[in-house]
Structure 1
Amino acid sequence: MSMLRALRRRVLTPNVRETHLDRRGFHVKNPEAKNQLETVGATFLQGYAYAVEARSAAEAEEWLETVPRAYRGFAYEGAGMGAVMLDSLTGSKRLAGFLEGEGARHDYMIWVGVGWAMARLPKFLWPDVTEIDPVLRWLILDGYGFHQAYFKTDAYVRKPHLTHPFSWKGGDDTYSQRVLDQGIGRALWFVGGTDPDVVAGLIAAYPEHRHGDLYAGSGLACTYAGSADETELKRFAEHAGKHLPNLAQGSAFASEARVKAGTIIDHTKMASRVLCAGRTPEEASRVCLETRPTGCDGGAIPAFETWRQEIARQIVVPAYSQKGASA
């Protein structure tokens, strides 16, 4: 059986060379940023491999918990993709097993990983997203959009005026395009090699009405994946201009994901302070939790979007002002 699991891993797992910046044609800012982004990619694939090779979700989680804290969320993201691939091909319940176990603390990242799997699977093998939390299931499209920009960069990034029709059972198709842009924006942090000037230039090439969502995705990536110093993040915030609330909202999402999973690192603290108006990651996370809706009306503007808007509205107000107002 161990040989069968090893074969399953070999057949189902993408080649790590596909995550190398040189192979992808992504911008290289410096050796340190290159190493960081390639480590993220390798860790994602490590998590994917754990998900498809382990005998159970519990065994996979034991392996995932050995990944260094800074990168553990990326491993769970990869595991989310691997679980869906395995479930779709074998009929197992690996995804459910993760979400019922230790993976529940990493559910944001796991949902993003589900989107990666959907980008690789034929539509008839997609999971039934209607059974997923109506607010958080939008994160699946973030993963789908990231995958497309990361692996189909010519079509999704280098030809920014192209449109890519998309339809799924998870919600309104028009709004779905906006969430895909949030995933594309997250990928732009990788395509641009964590260089704020390059990333801002990539965003500027898209039609103006897409900039807010692209900055939101990039805000999440620059806070969660990192590899930018304080000066660079301040410059990125200047580039965002009127879209600074979107950038801050994405950053707050990243803080919430790391706070919930217990994977806060020094970069999270610095990025949250710079992009979330002086807040600690815990304070930014609290804004996300306190504004999260309890359901979804299923309309053209779903609860996920009203949640994002409220986070953006609150997060740009300095933390000391919030404390003063509640005193």
Structure 2
Amino acid sequence: MTTALARARLALLGVPERKILRFKGGDTPRWRHLEDALRAAVGGYHAVLEGGNLDAIVARLDRFPKHMNGYAHEGVAMGLTGLDLFLPGKSRFRAFLAGAGDAHIYMSHIGAGEALAQMRRLPEPFLRKLDDPVARWLVMDGYGFHLGFFHPKKYVDRQVVPPYLSPYGRRVFDQGVGRSIWFTQGADVERVAAKVATFPPVRQADFWLGIGTGCCYAGGMEPSEIELLREVCGPHLPYLATGAAFAAKGRHRAGNPVEDTEMACQHLCDTDSSGARDIVDEALTDLPTDDSRNACHVVQDRVIATFSTSGRTTDRQAASQ
């Protein structure tokens, strides 16, 4: 039962229905599918606002279907990070990562980044305090997604990049903005490609990486649409495939693989989702243990190199030209 205090928190800090629906450009099955993902993330955030200890919050995630529970964990991470930024005490976000959030480690870090964007906090000082040298950079992805999704006129139309980001931080920021474009353009392949084409070429590869993640994780596409996505990305196919592979890794780690992810990997990575996950796992081995190189940067570059040189994505693309 929702208490009076919880209702007050939801009324004051919750995401209203009009804000959930504002991004939709229609009422087609694809728009509704994206809406379901957004509602799961908002639902996880609202589960935090309903109050209680961490076990009670996590128990509320049973409301969501298994294929959407990654988004729900993202929302919980956003809510807990918001509490950490306001209230003293041990980190609720870290406690979540040590428990239920571990299986959804990538989505959880994305959720933390969204909270930082919402509350106008600098993301990189926050992420440097986190333990996982790879996953922590997804805080920046969530930061970029939030700004691109909720403030598209500034960060997509005017193409603003926050000046306080490091060079690699800007890259992962763009990956998050790329995911936001996938959502705000309704997963319409031609509209997505046209929007990316308005940006300087130097930024486009990272947008395509984010689009690959968004497409493969969210799903809701037909095989012909995935093939079209493969064609319109042009020379950025290794980046698109890398994003899809990371989505596959995330779903397998969380134990919620879906047929849409399987299909996307087969078309974009020329392997099944398990094979795509294995490519990421291989890239995660023997990482630098000091600060001489950014571990996440190393992993992404290894996966991109695999798809650039292995023939998995390049042979069929060359044959089609």
* Aligned counterpart for 2:59 among listed residues 58, 62, 65: 62
Code of the aligned partner of 2:146 = H
Cα contact 1:88–1:127 (8 A) shared by 2: no
2:54 is the counterpart of 1:51: no
1:11 counterpart residue number: 12
Partner of 1:215: 208
Counterpart residue number, 1:154? 153
Q: CA deviation at 1:4?
A: 2.2
State how 1:60-99 maps to structure 2 within 5 Å. 60-91=57-88, 93-99=91-97
Residue identity opposite 1:121 in structure 2: M
Relative to 1, partners in 2 of residues 1:246 and 1:100: Cα closer, same or farther, differing over 3 Å?
Answer: same
Report the equivalent of 1:129: 127
Q: Which residue of 2 aligns with 1:104?
A: 102
Q: In the aligned structure 1, how far is the partner of 2:301 from the partner of 2:179? A: 18
The corresponding residue for 1:323 is none
Q: Which runs of 5+ in 2 are unaligned?
A: 313-321
CA shift digits 1:17-61 (9 cap, x unpaired): 2121xx23x544x61011111111111110001123231111111
Amino acid at match of 1:151: F
The equivalences for 1:310-325 within 5 A come to 310-315=302-307, 317=310
Tell me which amino acid in the other structure corresponds to 2:105.
D
Partners of 2:127 and 2:137 within 8 A in 1: no
Question: Which of 240, 253, 267 is the aligned partner of 2:246?
Answer: 253
2:223 aligned with 1:230, yes or no? yes
Deviation at 1:5, TM superposition (A): 3.1
Q: 2:194 aligns with which of 201, 211, 221?
A: 201
Match of 1:39 in 2: 36
Distance 1:202 1:60 in 2: 38
Q: C-alpha displacement at 1:142, in angstroms?
A: 0.3
Distance 1:125 1:70, change over 3 A: closer
User: Which amino acid is 1:10 matched to?
Assistant: A
C-alpha displacement of 1:124: 7.8
The alpha carbon displacement at 1:125 in A equals 10
How many residues get paired?
308
3-state SS, counterpart of residue 103 of structure 1: coil
Q: 1:124 to 1:220 in 2, by over 3 A?
A: closer
2-structure distance, mates of 1:179, 1:193: 22
Give the gaps of 5 or more residues in structure 1: 168-172, 320-327
* CA displacement 1:174-210 (0-9 Å, x = unmatched): 1111110000001110121111111011111000001
- Secondary structure in structure 2 of the residue aligned to 1:123: coil
CA distance in 2 between partners of 1:192 and 1:184 (Å): 12
Alignment-mate amino acid for residue 209 of structure 1: V
Say whether the 8 Å CA contact 2:124–2:140 is kept in structure 1.
Answer: no
Q: 1:281 to 1:54 in 2, by over 3 A?
A: farther
The 1-side partners of 2:123 and 2:275 are apart by 40
Aligned to 2:319: none
Checking the alignment, whether the CA contact within 8 Å between 2:161 and 2:170 is kept in structure 1 is no
The percent of aligned pairs where both chains have the same amino acid is: 32
Aligned equivalents of 1:3 and 1:27: distance in 2? 35
Contact 2:178/2:208 (CA < 8 Å) preserved in 1? yes
Alpha-carbon distance between aligned partners in 1 of 2:121 and 2:211, rounded to the nearest angstrom = 28
Q: Is the 8 A contact 1:52 1:86 kept in 2?
A: no
Q: Partner residue of 1:307?
A: 299
The question of 1:282 aligning with 2:282 is answered no
Cross-structure match for 2:318: none
C-alpha deviation, 1:130, in angstroms: 2.4
SS of residue paired to 1:83: helix
After superposition, the CA RMSD in angstroms is: 2.2
Which shows bigger deviation, 178-187 or 121-130?
121-130
Deviates more, 1:77-86 or 1:1-10: 1-10
Separation in 2 of the partners of 1:127 and 1:155? 23
Q: Is 1:244 matched with 2:237?
A: yes
- Letter of the 1:63 partner, please give it: R
Asked if the contact 1:44/1:76 (under 8 Å) is kept, the reply is: yes
Q: Which residue of 2 aligns with 1:144?
A: 143
Report the alpha carbon displacement of residue 214 of structure 1 after superposing the two structures with TM. Answer: 0.3
Kindly indicate whether residue 184 of structure 2 is the aligned counterpart of residue 191 of structure 1: yes
On the 8 A contact 1:134/1:295 being kept in 2, the answer is no
| Partner AA of 1:105 in structure 2 | A
Name the TM-score, length of structure 2 as normaliser. Answer: 0.89
- Asked if 2 retains the 8 angstrom alpha-carbon contact of 1:113 and 1:143, the reply is yes
Deviation of 1:297 after TM superposition, in Å, equals 4.5
